[in-house]
Structure 1
């Protein structure tokens, strides 16, 4: 079954940035900014890899729908 927004265009500000919490951002600021499109786009492969391996975030796994949304955004070319 397809989710309602499965075929929809995704954008960073409205779709991806809200997946990250302020505490996630603060934990990663020494490396990159999870609230910045350019930083997330540059590190997208490492971010999705860490999420899939369970090493990020440290307080529990993301829901499958969040992982799928992030992967679709990456597959779409990481639009702003």
Structure 2
């Protein structure tokens, strides 16, 4: 199983990532080991989507990083 996940960062931004081990990856973010999020901790896991393959997860991650993908995710996976 692969996961596309959404983190709410301290500065209000939402980080989108994908992994096959959500607990380990979230702990990496929380511990400051991820360069792109360590300056904006604490981070809160807002939502995640489970998919069967890495290919699907990476495609969804790319989509959710686009303007329309961010809008879609914001309306359906967390409230502002």
* TM-score in terms of structure 2 length: 0.32
Higher strand share: 2
TM-score scaled by structure 1?
A: 0.32
Larger % of helix: which? 1
